[in-house]
Amino acid sequence: MRNDNLHAMPELEITYPSVEGAECPYPLYERLRAEAPVTQVPGTNQYLVTRWHDVQYVCRHPELFSSDSRRSRTPFDSFGDKNPTIRGMVELDPPEHKPRRDACRLSLTPRRLLDYEPMVREIVTHLIDQFVANGRFEMVEQFSRPLPMDVTMRLFGFTEEDREWVGAWSLVETSGSAFISEEAQERQIGYARRAGKRLLEELVDRYEHPGDDILSEFVARNVERTGHFDKIQVRADASNMFRGGIITVAHAIPMATRLLLENPDQLEAVCADSALIPRMFEEALRVESPSQWNPRIAVADTELGGVKIPEGAYVMIFWASGNRDEEVFEDATAFDVRRQNVAKHLSFGDGSHFCVGAPLARLEARVAFEELLARLPGLRLAQDADAAHVASPAFRGLRRLDLAFDMNAH
């Protein structure tokens, strides 16, 4: 199909998604929104979608833009399979998607979250206790990565012996794997295959010996729904819930912390009124989306933003660009903890695939910042703080964040 409406921009090099372009993709997003909000990457079947309204349109029209990963260019799935035949719930379209999603959602209802809060606060308190007497800490490894990992492992009934494979698995790229080196792909395939084997063992154990944990509930709910135990399908859905519960929070908390510390007036406002913490976290997700983009596949010849998109095209919807669209968010690059329409951000997705784990992520972040700001007076960037981002073509987070605080209050 000839694309007569293709926005030609020979002077603009498409440098992202890529590991090299991950440090600062925002100038590219800004130019794309202004000059070619739906554009084809030259020489490929990839189409980048960067305006908020277009991203939302793609999300809300699965009959035109499918989530089915088997049609995509992703070289391997979450278990290291290069030719996957089983899809997890995030890779399904309606009507198949809803019952599979509901099986996950029922473990994360508002009532259940009330039950989880004391456990989350216990984990947050324990992590802070490890460095509160030191006057400084490195947030990524000492706090933001272990927090969601500990919470998720506790909820799923995993033990400390599982930490190594869980941690490695949380770094596997999925959609972004097409944009990393073959050497990195093979390394991640190894992590994913080990995790897939261990998760399958855990699922079989929960089926044969149910416990008091989310994974046991999830297995039982799927058996009740389908009438049998399909361990491969259950593993696919469990992995979506499990990995998603770790990655977003691990990246989002350090980014939110840095935004606060780089904007002293916003930090002062949140410290003066802890009720602003939930809105602050949503604003941080808007400004620095942990997941920069996700793929869809055009299921038929269609048109978006005046651009013809052929059947089979790889359509990349950029949450992070839509989140900075000035047509939706006034002064979009500014970090404003009182932003009134922050709920419009796309960092948890949109439409039927809105992140099922969003309520748990919000709970973890709220408790984390309540405790951090209360227990670490004078919290600030350390003089030798490293501000570099992770080398990921799909996720955005900090490699490390060195922080200091006043010790005289302890």
And the tokens for 27? Answer: 């100038």
Please state, in angstroms and as integers, the Cα–Cα distance from residue 116 to each residue in 102, 155, 380, following that order: 19, 9, 30
Q: Across all residues in the chain, what is the average pLDDT?
A: 92
In the sheet where 314-317 sits, what is the strand order? 38-40, 46-49, 314-317, 294-298, 65-66
In angstroms, rounded to a whole number, what is the distance separating the alpha carbons of residues 403 and 87? 41
- Region 17-25: mean pLDDT is 93
Q: For residue 410, what pLDDT is reported? A: 47
Q: Residue 390 — left, alpha, or beta (φ > 0 → left; ψ -120 to 50 → alpha)?
A: beta
Residues 6+ apart with CB under 8 A from 309: 3, 38, 47, 298, 301, 302, 303, 315
Q: For residue 4, what pLDDT is reported? A: 44
Decide: pTM greater than 0.85.
yes
CATH number of 20-26+75-293+328-404: 1.10.630.10
Map out the domains of the chain as residue ranges.
Answer: 20-26+75-293+328-404
Indicate the DSSP class of residue 90.
G
Residue 277: name the closest of 254, 291, 258, 260 by CA: 260
Give the chain's radius of gyration (CA, Å).
21
CA atoms within 13 A on the CB side of 228: 4
> Does 6 have pLDDT greater than 70?
no
Number of C-beta neighbours around residue 152 at 10 A: 23
Give the best-scoring range by mean pLDDT among 77-81, 109-113, 366-370: 366-370
Burial 14-51 (b: 16+ CB within 10 A, else e): bebbebeebeebeebbbebbeebbbbbeeeeebbbbbb
Q: For residue 33, what pLDDT is reported? A: 98
Would you say 231 and 238 are in contact if contact means Cβ atoms under 8 Å apart?
no
Per-residue pLDDT tens digits for 208-258? 999 999 999 999 999 999 999 999 999 999 998 888 879 999 999 999 999
Q: What whole-number percentage of the chain has pLDDT above 70? A: 95
In angstroms, rounded to a whole number, what is the distance separating the alpha carbons of residues 110 and 401? 32
Would you say 74 and 90 are in contact if contact means Cβ atoms under 8 Å apart?
no
Q: For residue 388, what pLDDT is reported? A: 83
